[in-house]
Amino acid sequence: MPRSLQRMSFPRPQGRRARRAPGWALILPVLACTVTSGGGAAAADIYRSVGPDGVISFTNRKKPEGGRLVARDPGRSARTPSFPRDTSPERYTRYDAYIREAATLYQIPVELVRSVIHVESDFNPHAVSRANACGLMQLIPETAERMMVTDVFDPRENIFGGTRYLRVLANLFNGDLELTLAAYNAGEGAVLRYGGIPPYRETQEYVARVLAYYRKYRGE
C-alpha cells in the first residue's frame, strides 16, 4: 500500500448496550440483506423484519409477516430532478436527505457514504467513467442490476444502490472496512482472490482516499 492504514472493522456488537469503539474504528452489525434480481429499483418500498434468531433482514418484496415498512419509494415525480454539472459548494449537501435515508436503512455510517460519493464522483450525479461506472456512487451496469437500480442517474436510486452494495460487501467481509472499500473499487472477486486488498495501485490509493475523507467528515 502507498502508506499504512489503521486497521478498522465492523465487529458485531455484543448485546443492546454495545459501546462504540474508540477513535474512528466502527461498530457496525453484520446484517442479512436480501438482494433479489429484477422486479424493482433500489428506491422501491423496502421492508425490515427481525427473524426468530434476531437477524435483521431487508427486502423490497411484498411486506413479510411482521415486517415493517422502513423506506417508501416517493415516485419518480417526487424525486430530485437532474442537475447540470456544477462546481458550487451546494452540491456537497444537495443529497444529504438521501444519504441519511440510505445510511440509516442499511446501517452504514453517513460519513462513509458521503466519503465514497466524494471520491467516486465528487457529487456529480451525471459522472461516467471509462469503465462505464455511472452516477454519484459510480455503479457499473452489473452492480446496478444486482442492486436493483433501474436509473443510475437518479440520485436517490444511485445512493440506495451504492449503499446497499456497501452493506452486501460489509457482510461478505465480516465488517472489515478496508476490505469492504477495496471490494467496492476492485470487485469482491479480486479481494477474495488475493485474500486482502489487491496489489492494484488504483485500489490501494482509493482505500486511502476514502478513509482520509471519512476522517475529515467525522471531524478527526
Active site residues per annotation: 120
φ, ψ (nearest 5 deg) of residue 164: -60, -40
Helix (H, G, I), strand (E, B) or coil at 48: strand
Q: How many residues does the chain have?
A: 220
**How many Å apart are CA 149 and CA 133, to the nearest integer?**
13
Q: Count Cα atoms within 13 angstroms, Cβ side, for 165.
A: 30
Burial class (CB in 10 A: 0-12, 13-18, 19+), 146: middle
Identify the CA nearest to 97 among candidates 112, 82, 85, 114: 114
